[in-house]
């Protein structure tokens, strides 16, 4: 299995979300995964207008697929989004 260059992938992610504030004190892998979780939880939006996780997942997936990123980067980002949704789903069901 190919090693993932998280610095490069984070750079590609930033192309999708131009003005998104990302944690600066984490390494590239943690920053990317944290940004995806924040995105799916809609934490960058005011609480009264937040959307459900699956709606955010659909929107993020659509944005990635329709982007001009390389296909391999798209697949990696889609995989991380899928893993994040599963993780959130597991946390919700175990609560």
Cβ contact 20:14 at 8 Å? yes
The residue among 94, 92, 83 whose CA lies nearest residue 33 is 83
Q: Residue ranges per domain, the chain?
A: 6-94
Q: What is the C-alpha to C-alpha distance for residues 22 and 17, in angstroms, rounded to an integer?
A: 10
Q: What is the C-alpha to C-alpha distance for residues 78 and 41, in angstroms, rounded to an integer?
A: 16
- Average pLDDT of the residues in 29-50: 92
Per cent of the chain over pLDDT 70 is 97
pLDDT for 24 beyond 60 = yes
pLDDT 10s digits, 44-69: 889 999 999 999 999 999 999 999 99
pLDDT for 19 beyond 80 = no
In sequence order, which residues have a C-beta less than 8 Å from that of residue 27 and are 6 or more positions away? 6
Own/partner contacts of 50-59, CB < 8 Å, gap of 24 or more, are 53/85, 53/88, 53/89, 54/85, 57/81, 57/85
């Amino acid at each position: 299995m190919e090693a993932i260059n998280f610095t490069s992938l984070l750079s590609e992610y930033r192309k999708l979300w131009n003005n998104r504030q990302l944690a600066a004190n984490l390494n590239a892998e943690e920053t990317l995964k944290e940004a995806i979780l924040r995105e799916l939880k809609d934490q960058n939006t005011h609480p009264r207008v937040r959307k459900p996780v699956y709606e955010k997942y659909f929107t993020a997936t659509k944005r990635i697929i329709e982007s001009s990123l390389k296909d391999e980067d798209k697949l990696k980002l889609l995989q991380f989004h899928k893993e994040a949704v599963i993780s959130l789903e597991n946390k919700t069901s175990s609560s």
